[in-house]
Amino acid sequence: MNQYELLFIISSQYTDAEIEKIKAQVSAEIETVGGTIVKTENLGKIHLAYPIKKQNHGTYILVYFDVESSVLGPLIRKLSLTDEVLRHTTSLRPKDAEKRVFELTSYVAPLSEEARKEHFTPQNATGARPPRRRIEKVAEIVQVAPTVLSQTSPEESKMSMEELDKKLDEILKADITDNI
């Protein structure tokens, strides 16, 4: 028998009692295919990084179990068809994984106010911008020859914005009339 761990997310629309029933249902599916449950742990409800099936929160459940690898495929298929399970992943269990303690935290977008508060330090309490990093090897960057993207005449490169707009309109109209 191989040792596996299963992490699955249950929709936040279910109560704690219903979550326990779903957890028992998944455990029963594992035992039905000949597996043995080593440990089941409710990691808690957190905000998801992105909505899954129009759900913004989910309860994470971690299950350690032993089962033959030949029956793992049908088990995963059954989990995929379970409506209550939003997402799941199964992997080989590392040694002594049952003894580890997990702490889940909600996803924080890098540019959000919450992330800014995390990175706001007391030494920068004045709100001043941090000093910019110095760019090394500027001379090498300047000496690189520019890449020529297209062959343009000197007259075309000195066109005004209005002339460019007219030329673009002509090109677009020509493309539309050619396709009709």
- Residue 99, pLDDT score: 80
- Residue 150, pLDDT score: 55
Domain ranges of the chain: 2-99
CATH of 2-99, one of 3.40.50.300, 3.30.70.60, 3.90.1150.10, 1.10.4160.10: 3.30.70.60
- Residue 171, pLDDT score: 79
pLDDT tens for the chain, 180 residues: list them: 899 999 999 998 999 999 999 999 999 999 999 999 999 999 988 888 889 988 888 999 999 999 999 999 999 999 999 889 999 999 998 888 878 787 777 666 676 776 666 665 555 455 555 555 555 544 444 444 555 555 555 555 677 778 877 887 787 777 555 555
- Residue 177, pLDDT score: 54
* CB-based contacts of 23, cutoff 8 Å, min separation 6: 10, 40, 42, 61, 63
